[in-house]
Amino acid sequence: MKCMLVVLVGGMTPVNTDLVFDKFADCLAAEEQMRKHYTDAFEAWDRWAAANIERRREYSKVRDLQAKRLLSNIGTCVPHAGGEAAAPQQPSNPTPSPQATPAPQPSPKT
């Protein structure tokens, strides 16, 4: 069965990558490579920030935010039908729904 790599942005919001793999192991390797790219990007940013942000307190706050932004994205491999997904079929002759017609109201007696 084919697998597709899906990224969970912020660990919660799924984003389709359209990366489909024939083997589950290949999908896992791609997920590991993606995680390494995020780690490398964070480390490069961290080196820049350490050299350019003067106040230690500001650096600490910004570093925490950047770590959450970059390192909370995770990948997962999900089964993929490979384009063979069947569209939901609708009945060719839908039965008409009975329409409720309001009954005439009797006139009030005086």
Residue 83 has pLDDT above 70, yes or no: no
Residue 39 belongs to what H/E stretch? helix 24-52
Q: Which of 77-81, 96-100, 103-107 has the highest mean pLDDT?
A: 77-81
End-to-end CA distance of the chain: 78
pLDDT for 26 equals 94
Domain boundaries, the chain: 2-80
Residue 95 confidence class, pLDDT cut points 50, 70, 90? very low
The SS3 call for residue 49 is helix
Residue with more model confidence, 106 or 37: 37
Residue 20 has pLDDT above 50, yes or no: yes
Residue 110 has pLDDT above 70, yes or no: no
